[in-house]
Structure 1
Amino acid sequence: MRPLRRRPVDLIVSALIVVALVVTAAAAWYFSSARRTTLTPATSTPPAQPYPAGVPAKLRQLWTAPSPATRSPQVTDTVALTGDGGTVTARDPRTGKAVWTYRRPLPVCAVLAAWSPNSPTALAAYRNSRGCGEVTAIEATRGIRKATRSSDADQSVTLQSDGGYVLSLGPTRFESWGSNLVRGIEYGRVDAPVKPDPGEHTGRNCRLSSGRTAGDRVAVIEHCDGDPGYRLTVVGAVLNKDEKVTKYGSTVITSGTAFAPPVVVAMSESAIAVYDGGKNTPEPTPAAIRTFDSNGTETGRHRVPGGAELPPGSIATDGEGMATLWTGPATVVLDTATMRPKFTAAGTRGPAATVDGKLLIPDAGGYQVVDAASGQREGEVPLRRPPGPDMAIVPALIGAQVIEQRGQTITAYGP
């Protein structure tokens, strides 16, 4: 057999193919967001802030920063996280100075401090053409990238975790992730469902309005085509052995949808709390915390002060076996084992932060100091806040600092 002879034209074509591949790869890199992504890690390890020894005697403003990507203060034991534009910043809680920064040429949708204190991680969800599904996990203390994931998502999401799985919730779909960012389940608008069951409720053609995760379960409020009211659905946070979503319960819990939907405000491994303004019924009823077990079966309805919907920016906080929620007229304190209200504090402006058996509850003049066991008011920490939107003031504690989220702004106060 005669050997193949390469003609000059063959060599030219081969060279052109190689050049085209190089140009394509270079162009892909040049125009990619990765080229314009900047992670500036910490120059030194920030010190852990000691657990507060007690209620602060006085507070003054230390610093403030925009953070539209968070709904509540996201703190670890070393830093406070903010998200604005395309930048996530870990800040020294005492000064507000950047400890590390992560920048991308994409808008950041949501930022969450997860898996503290064992493995403190900053999670940042960015929006691209597929929605808010570009996710980066960064070691929160030093600013070292840990993992990334990319998937389909809605154009807006919220991130939430109880310290186990993370829930990324949008208006038409949600996902759960483990600490390695591997997806547990996807639910709702799923383009390529795994082993679909045509006869089972899967959240397709549904609008999701709120949700929480705790333990190995997710609870979500949704309204689906054909439903007369809003539905509470509880599913497993990971696929079962048959690679399907485990359904623990799904029940329509209102008889109408004319008013704001109920809100899943708190969840533990044994109970779920839903705020219901009481208007989506033939005969309007007072606002209440409705309690459900971990399968979504209703266990009680507990009247609380409140209106048809929660005030803007209202989000529950939890700590020391309690969850707290601002309803507008009052802050409601829940026992997380049962989710039944323990007591309410009137004249407040947001949920509470817990310290040394006490609740610090924001009000117009600063913070009410309330005994967490009895509900008795024991004092006031005065504070002069700058003018801000008429929204919930959501606090968190890190060391001697109180970090507040109010609208799209984070403000830190300290001695």
Structure 2
Amino acid sequence: MGTLRPERRTRVDLAVSAAILVVLAVAALVVWAKSPVRHTDSAQSARPAADVAPATTVPERLSVAWRARSTATAGPSLARSVVVTAADGAVVGRDPATGDELWHYRRNLSLCAALAAWPTGTNSVLAVYRNSRGCSEVTALDGSSGQRVGARSSDADDHVQLSSDTGYVVSQGPTRLETWGSNLVRGIEYGRVDAPVKPDVQPGRTGCRLYSSALGGDRVAVIERCDRDTGYRLTVLGTVLDDDEKVQQYGSSLITEGTAGPPPVLVAMGSSGIAVYDGGADPPAPASDTPSGSLAPSIRRFTTDGVPSATNLVAGDPSPPTGPAVVTADGLTSYFTGKSTVILDTQTLRPIYQVPGTIGSGDTMGGQLLLPIPDGISVRDAATGREIRTIAVPRDGRGDAPVTLRTLGGAVVEQWGSTVQALRAS
């Protein structure tokens, strides 16, 4: 056999090869320049933050330990052992005692919302960023180290609010909501769906505006108003699709006769019921448990199918403040109506007592209840609401903004507006 001669390359061949390499290099450079990684700054903790032991007593005195700005959280956001603040595209995990930065995650996008979820489980911090598809880019971080552990992206509204329970998170905007599990896999999308994969997956209502939502086990409740509705509606859905890959609806009915006043607000949802704050601006729907024509602020309770069950009158404004978050701890759920703090049993959502003269929602510490008051903190017996003593606390620059108070170990963490303030024993 003759020897095969090596293939000869012409100048044209070499020029084409060079051009292909240049095109590939330019394309790779463009992809890199536009990629999220290119515009992300992440600094993880050298070692995971140590768990914080619960406080056994309430300090006699408290002083301000540190302050930070947090525009993307509705109230103090607490992971298992860090305080999370979020502003200017950055989510920061801070030492609760000193405020020192333990880790951060920063992008060149606007932050829509941030939430510490499942501190006793996966201990995740969720950061939601805005792009051309709305508040659609979600990053999950480990709460103790700041390590990126997951991401998702989908269509979303330009503004969303996040809330969670032990199993799911709901991201709700004015026209649509989604639920996610701790793995960030979507359970359902509800409301506006611009490009549905399957027809007839959603309930038949159209043109719905969503006002508030709450999670409870395998269900999510939402206050909404849809086309042709004469009043505000309470709808209860499953957090995941049913066996036919459809959004499962457990109940949906009008709970007010009109819409002249502010919509009722979902306070909480548990395994045995739903609590809704109704400021009394509109008469309740005729099928309601509330007396016809009643126009008084109340906590209205419903079954997990959305059926009215009981009503408790409370002191409150027609439209409660939007800033304070609901706080749940040690079997108690705390909700600020604008005129008082209502304490509910977390299991039944029955109001146990209300405390007038407060300025926000509170938390437990050392078996006692701490509520924010104008000049400081009221320390109360958690079972009865009886005041034991008060602690003077400065809140410079607060004005009349409502305060949400939470505790983490020996630290008391408050938020009003975009200010997070941590207090410690002095």
Contact 2:277/2:299 (8 A) holds in 1: yes
Contact 1:212/1:266 (8 A) holds in 2: yes
In structure 2, the residue corresponding to 1:220 is in which secondary structure? Answer: strand
Alpha-carbon distance in structure 2 between the residues aligned to 1:281 and 1:329:
21
Aligned twin of 2:214:
212
Contact 1:190/1:204 (8 A) holds in 2: no
Contact 1:271/1:336 (8 A) holds in 2: no
Tell whether 2:185 aligns with 1:182: yes
In structure 2, the residue corresponding to 1:29 is in which secondary structure? Answer: helix
Amino acid at match of 2:398: G
Amino acid at match of 2:352: K
Tell whether 2:156 aligns with 1:148: no
Task: Identify the match of residue 342 of structure 1 among 344, 352, 357.
Answer: 352
In structure 1, the residue corresponding to 2:364 is in which secondary structure? Answer: strand
Amino acid at match of 2:324: S
Aligned twin of 1:112:
115
Task: Identify the match of residue 397 of structure 2 among 363, 387, 402.
Answer: 387
Alpha-carbon distance in structure 1 between the residues aligned to 2:357 and 2:414:
18
Aligned twin of 1:301:
311
Amino acid at match of 1:64: R
Aligned twin of 2:332:
322
Aligned twin of 1:44:
47
Aligned twin of 1:264:
266
Alpha-carbon distance in structure 1 between the residues aligned to 2:275 and 2:302:
7
**How do 1:10-409 and structure 2 match up within 5 A?**
12-13=15-16, 15-197=18-200, 201=203, 204-281=206-283, 283=293, 285-409=295-419
Alpha-carbon distance in structure 2 between the residues aligned to 1:218 and 1:8:
68
Gaps of at least 5 residues in structure 2 are: 1-6, 285-292
Alpha-carbon distance in structure 1 between the residues aligned to 2:277 and 2:8:
79
Contact 2:80/2:143 (8 A) holds in 1: no
Contact 2:203/2:247 (8 A) holds in 1: no
Alpha-carbon distance in structure 1 between the residues aligned to 2:251 and 2:121:
32
Shift of 1:195: 3.0
Q: How many pairs align?
A: 411
Amino acid at match of 2:200: D
Q: TM-score if structure 2 supplies the norm length? A: 0.92
Contact 2:171/2:177 (8 A) holds in 1: yes
Cα distance per residue 1:199-223 (max 9 Å; x no partner): x635641111100112111101111
Contact 1:312/1:391 (8 A) holds in 2: no
Shift of 1:349: 0.7
Cα distance per residue 1:248-276 (max 9 Å; x no partner): 01111111111111100111121111101
Aligned twin of 2:3:
none
Amino acid at match of 2:146: G
In structure 1, the residue corresponding to 2:323 is in which secondary structure? Answer: coil
Shift of 1:304: 0.4
Cα distance per residue 1:369-390 (max 9 Å; x no partner): 1112122222112222212142
Pairwise CA RMSD? 1.9
Distance verdict in 2 for CA 1:193–1:5, change over 3 Å: farther
Contact 2:219/2:236 (8 A) holds in 1: yes
Amino acid at match of 1:262: P
Alpha-carbon distance in structure 2 between the residues aligned to 1:350 and 1:179:
29
Alpha-carbon distance in structure 2 between the residues aligned to 1:350 and 1:108:
25
Aligned twin of 2:288:
none
Alpha-carbon distance in structure 1 between the residues aligned to 2:208 and 2:16:
53
Alpha-carbon distance in structure 2 between the residues aligned to 1:299 and 1:195:
36
Alpha-carbon distance in structure 2 between the residues aligned to 1:72 and 1:232:
25
In structure 2, the residue corresponding to 1:260 is in which secondary structure? Answer: coil
In structure 1, the residue corresponding to 2:361 is in which secondary structure? Answer: coil
Cα distance per residue 1:26-52 (max 9 Å; x no partner): 112113332020110012332222101
The structure that has the greater radius of gyration is 2
Contact 2:115/2:126 (8 A) holds in 1: yes
Gaps of at least 5 residues in structure 1 are: none
Amino acid at match of 1:252: L
Amino acid at match of 1:359: L
Contact 2:79/2:125 (8 A) holds in 1: no
Q: TM-score if structure 1 supplies the norm length? A: 0.94
Q: Relative to structure 2, which stretch is displaced further, 61-70 or 253-262?
A: 253-262
Aligned twin of 2:287:
none
Shift of 1:409: 0.9
Distance verdict in 2 for CA 1:241–1:379, change over 3 Å: same
Distance verdict in 2 for CA 1:5–1:233, change over 3 Å: farther
Amino acid at match of 1:328: G
Shift of 1:10: 6.7
Q: Which runs of 4+ in 1 moved over 4 A?
A: 4-15
Give identity over the alignment, percent: 47
Shift of 1:312: 4.1
Aligned twin of 2:4:
none
Contact 1:357/1:373 (8 A) holds in 2: no
Amino acid at match of 1:384: P
In structure 2, the residue corresponding to 1:21 is in which secondary structure? Answer: helix
Alpha-carbon distance in structure 2 between the residues aligned to 1:250 and 1:20:
57
Cα distance per residue 1:241-299 (max 9 Å; x no partner): 11111110111111111111110011112111110111122946100111011111111
In structure 1, the residue corresponding to 2:423 is in which secondary structure? Answer: strand
Contact 2:233/2:253 (8 A) holds in 1: yes
Alpha-carbon distance in structure 1 between the residues aligned to 2:194 and 2:100:
43
